[in-house]
Amino acid sequence: MKYHLQPIGTKMSEAKKKRSRGRPRSLDRTRILEDAMRLYWHEGPLRLSLNEVCRRLEIAKPGLYREFGGEDGLLAACLDLYWDLYMKRLHDFLSTTDQPFLKQIESVIDAIAGEVSGMATDAGCLSVKMRSERNRLGPIARARVEQLERDNLTSYESWIRRAQSEGTLRVDLDPSTLASYVDAQVFSAFHQKGQGVDGDIIRSNAKLAFSILLLPETGKD
């Protein structure tokens, strides 16, 4: 699935030029944020200049600075929105599901293979893309990336501890180590999705990777 923003003309009308000289227009923050999130998601967080982002979103740079404090603040806000719309669903599922553990793993694989609506597209995952570029991000966006990464690990570790206490997951492995392992597998799968790897291949790779979590008898037919 490819996302296309509406075509934007390169010249402002006379009416728009006149308006720009007067009182600044208020921005539709919700619309700007949703469009910016999709733009960064599909184009990458650092591939476009801020001038180009403003052009595509049809906003003036001063207005963006007033609303978000600049590119760093905009990227952080886009990541928060992406998390709330997509990644949070995965973690909410892990914390509330009553499914058997094997079924939970299958559901996670469905999500990272792109079979859960909206979770991942051919563009991959914005959170993964920003994690990959963290050292080139500004301090605000980088801090959000690192905080959400810690939230990932906390969620995975809680999930793992619960499964261990229920006797459905190996107890000979440290939960925090397993949480880091799960996070790495999810990261890898979303990255593969963004690189155009077929969903069936992602599924097979993820199934093999997650098999380490299962008790020997759990994975038997």
| Per-residue pLDDT reduced to its tens digit, 202-220 | 888 888 888 888 766 544 4
Does 186 map to a domain?
yes
The residue count of the chain comes to 221
Q: Could you state, in chain order, the average pLDDT of each consecutive group of 10 residues for the chain (221 residues)?
A: 38 44 65 94 92 94 94 96 87 80 80 58 81 95 96 92 86 91 90 84 88 65 44
Does 17 map to a domain?
no
pLDDT digits (tens, 9 = 90+) for 52-77: 999 999 999 999 999 999 999 999 99
Does 90 map to a domain?
yes
Distance CA 94, CA 162 (A): 10
Q: Which spans in the chain are helix H?
A: 14-21, 29-43, 50-57, 61-68, 71-82, 88-96, 101-112, 126-132, 139-165, 175-194, 199-210
Does 88 map to a domain?
yes
The torsion angles phi and psi of 183, rounded to 5 degrees, stand at -60, -40
Answer yes or no: are the C-beta atoms of 113 and 202 closer than 8 Å: yes
Does 131 map to a domain?
yes
Torsion of CA 173, 176, 177, 179, to 10 degrees: 110
Answer yes or no: are the C-beta atoms of 213 and 177 closer than 8 Å: no
Does 5 map to a domain?
no
Distance CA 39, CA 129 (A): 13
pTM of the model: 0.79
Q: Which domain CATH number covers 115?
A: 1.10.357.10
Share of the chain above pLDDT 90, in %: 42
Among 38, 54, 186, 200, which residue's Cα sits nearest to residue 123? Answer: 38
| Total domains in the fold of the chain | 1
Does 94 map to a domain?
yes
| Domain range enclosing 98 | 82-213
Does 43 map to a domain?
no
